[in-house]
Structure 1
Amino acid sequence: MKRHILFDFDGTLVDSRALLVKLYNEMAAEHRFRPIRDQDLALMRSLSISERVERLGVPVLQIPKLAMAARIRYQENIHTLRIVPGMKEVLARLSGLGLKSSILSSNSAGNIRLFLKNNKLDGAFREIISSKPLFGKHHSIRKVMKQWGATSSQMIYIGDELRDIEACKKLGVPIIAVTWGYDAIGLLRSGKPDYMASSPAELLKILLTLT
């Protein structure tokens, strides 16, 4: 039985892609990085994070500083964001079944709590966990498992990026990859997730078979 459900945030619970592209382009203009144009979006979704960084010409050493600045701008715009249609119903069903859900994200816990408050989702999650490393999400998942005293078979992760799949594979944690987020379906499939969901309704159906 899966007793612990971990949700990714951006792209999985909230449709923030347009906002993040907007914020990136603002910083790109300031730092003279290559901007993301509308016609670039499909290609960018098919690339890994390292490939995107290389294509955009962003120095790797500047990423932590840029990420911190992006979080501040994100908070200033968070009132414009809404939960992915259908996900509120998924969360309500899980809560009704007494299942424990938490969020693990590279976004800040403050941003996530503000979003949940704005969307009347206070109390929908047991815990909000901020994962700082851009390329090391498995370290954060392992830490959560240790804190909760949970084995990999008692966990399930829900995310929208290849890096989510790779992190879970390192730990043997089952993952459901959702296709409405940041990474393209082909990129997700290349990571061989345990399950894939193309809609919140399909996600719920998978979860009910696992929990």
Structure 2
Amino acid sequence: MVKHILFDFDGTLVDSRALLVKLYNEMAAQYQFRMIRDQDLALLRSLTISERVNRLGVPVLQIPKLVVAGRQMYQDNIRTLHIVPGMKEVIAHISALGIRSSILSSNSEGNIRTFLKNNRMDGAFKEIISAKHLFGKHHSIRKVMKQWGTPPSRMIYVGDELRDIEACQKLGVPIIAVTWGYDSPRLLLSGKPDYLVNSPSDLVKTLLALT
């Protein structure tokens, strides 16, 4: 039985895709990368992160610098963001049942806390954990498991990207992949998640069956 739920942030809880495209295009104009057009979005959702980077012509060595700059730009625009419709009710439902939930994200803790405060969700999560590396979520998940003394079978991760699935599989942590985020359903299915849900109402039903 699952006793603790880890939620991803961008794409899973917050609808930030349009903002991230906007911020990327601002940096692309500055560094002369390929811009993202509206007609590119469906294709990009079907590609892995490394495939997207190659397609957009972004030098791998520049990614850490761009991530830091992007987080600051994100903070400057955070008031434009909204929670995914239905997810506030999901969090309220599981909180009312006494189920412990936290956020583990590649975004910064400061950005996440600001968003939660703006959306009156300050006390909705036990902890906010920032994964320090774009491709290193499994390190952060392992640290959380050790800190809490929680075995993989007692946790579940809710995320929207193939890299979330891969991180959880390295540790044997079950994962629910949501289809409304950054990666396409087909890409998510290629990673063989434990569960795939298409709406917040499906998500809450799946969570309740596991807790």
If the TM-score is normalised by the length of the shorter chain, which range does it land in?
over 0.9
Partner of 2:162: 162
Q: How does 1:21-170 map to 2 (within 5 A)?
A: 21-170=21-170
Post-superposition Cα deviations, 1:69-119, rounded to whole Å, max 9, x if no partner, equal: 000000000000010000010000011000000000000000000000000
* Equivalent residue letter for 2:103: I
Shift of 1:177: 0.2
Cα distance in 2 for partners of 1:203, 1:137 equals: 22
Partner of 1:178: 178
Cα distance in 2 for partners of 1:135, 1:10 equals: 15
Post-superposition Cα deviations, 1:6-34, rounded to whole Å, max 9, x if no partner, equal: 00000000000000000000000000000
Partner of 1:206: 206
Shift of 1:135: 1.3
Post-superposition Cα deviations, 1:21-51, rounded to whole Å, max 9, x if no partner, equal: 0000000000000011100000000000000
Normalised TM-score (structure 2): 0.99
Cα distance in 2 for partners of 1:126, 1:201 equals: 22
Cα distance in 1 for partners of 2:61, 2:100 equals: 37
* Equivalent residue letter for 1:72: Q
For structure 2, list consecutive stretches of 5 or more residues without a partner in the other structure. Answer: none
* Equivalent residue letter for 2:120: K
Cα distance in 2 for partners of 1:94, 1:136 equals: 28
Partner of 2:3: 3
Residue 11 of structure 1 aligns to a residue in which SS? coil
Residue 40 of structure 2 aligns to a residue in which SS? helix
Shift of 1:136: 1.7
* Equivalent residue letter for 1:49: I
Residue 104 of structure 1 aligns to a residue in which SS? strand
* Equivalent residue letter for 2:95: S
Residue 146 of structure 1 aligns to a residue in which SS? helix
Shift of 1:137: 1.1
Shift of 1:142: 0.5
Partner of 2:20: 20
* Equivalent residue letter for 2:16: S
Give the length in aligned residue pairs: 211
Following TM superposition, the consecutive aligned residue runs of length 4 or more in structure 1 with deviations greater than 2 angstroms are none
Normalised TM-score (structure 1): 0.99
